[in-house]
Amino acid sequence: MPLDFPSNPVPNQSYTINNRTFVFDGNAWNLSFGPLTSLNAISVVDSGGDGSLTYNPSSGVFTYTGPTAVEVRSHFSAGSGVAITNGSISVDSTVVRTTGAQLISQKTLDGVTVNRALTMQVHTMTANVLDPNNGPIQIKTLTTHTALTDSLVNGTSILLMLTGANTWNVSWPSIIWVTDKGNVTPTLTGSDAIVLWKANNTLYGAWVGSSA
């Protein structure tokens, strides 16, 4: 049977044929699925997780509530050198930054390219220990006969600027001197530059020259 809708319908006008009811919405006829009481047959299961989903059987309205800030933050945790406070992430001095001045220690660098001047620490020795942790360039002025002790480890070196060795004797730790004449202790002049380095647990030294 053809659907013979009434002519000139008004909004919300209904038309029933073959046990089917249509309602005019002002522009077209739409099939009605019955009274709202049938919405009770619909339900929603919220299985948990962030946010929530509810259903109102009286109105047929589904309501989704998104996750709260507290729920989102609960999935993140701080790590080594990283702190999270109220959603704000911060790092401490143990994290290497790409900008700003920063002291970095006890790190292994591999394949480093230096594009600008590399500034090395210059240390004035007050003790008699040859310690590379004080800096790669060290200055020692002798005021008495001095026995130097070795604190270098494999792979470290020191450029030692030594003055006064023409007046005061220097006693060196166990060392192999690298010269054009073999393992020969250099004769110091009073203003000497000496390179010291440790390899295979052996301390080596080379007299660079004198400014005196």
Boundaries of every domain in the chain: 1-34, 42-69, 122-210
Give pLDDT, residue 148.
97
pLDDT range class, residue 108, cuts 50, 70, 90: confident
For the chain, the average pLDDT equals: 90
* pTM for the predicted model, two decimal places: 0.58
Give pLDDT, residue 106.
80
The rounded percent of the chain whose pLDDT value lies above 70 is: 96
pLDDT (tens digit, 9 = 90+) per residue, 182-200? Answer: 999 999 999 999 999 999 9
Question: Which has the closest alpha carbon to 181: 210, 211, 206, 209?
Answer: 206
3-class SS string, the chain: CCCCCCCCCCCCCEEEECCEEEEECCCCEEECCCCHHHHHHCCCCCCCCCCEEEEECCCCEEEEECCCHHHHHCCCCCECCEEEECCEEEECCCCCCCCCCCCCCCCCCCCCCCCCCCCCCEEECCCCEECHHHCCEEEEECCCCEECEECCCCCCEEEEEEECCCCCCEECCCCEECCCCCCCCCCCCCEEEEEEEEECCEEEEEEEEECC
Q: Is the pLDDT of residue 34 over 90?
A: no
pLDDT range class, residue 35, cuts 50, 70, 90: low
Q: Is the pLDDT of residue 37 over 60?
A: no
- Could you tell me which residue, 149 or 212, shows the higher pLDDT? 149
Q: Output the six-digit token pair for 94.
A: 């143990």
Domain spanning 122-210, CATH class: mainly beta
Number of other residues whose CB lies within 10 A of the CB of residue 189: 15
Q: Is the pLDDT of residue 36 over 70?
A: no
Q: Is the pLDDT of residue 43 over 90?
A: no
Q: Which residues contact 126 (CB under 8 A, 6 or more apart)?
A: none
User: What b/e string do you get for 50-66 counting C-beta neighbours within 10 Å, with b at 16 or more?
Assistant: eeeeeeeeeeeeeeeee
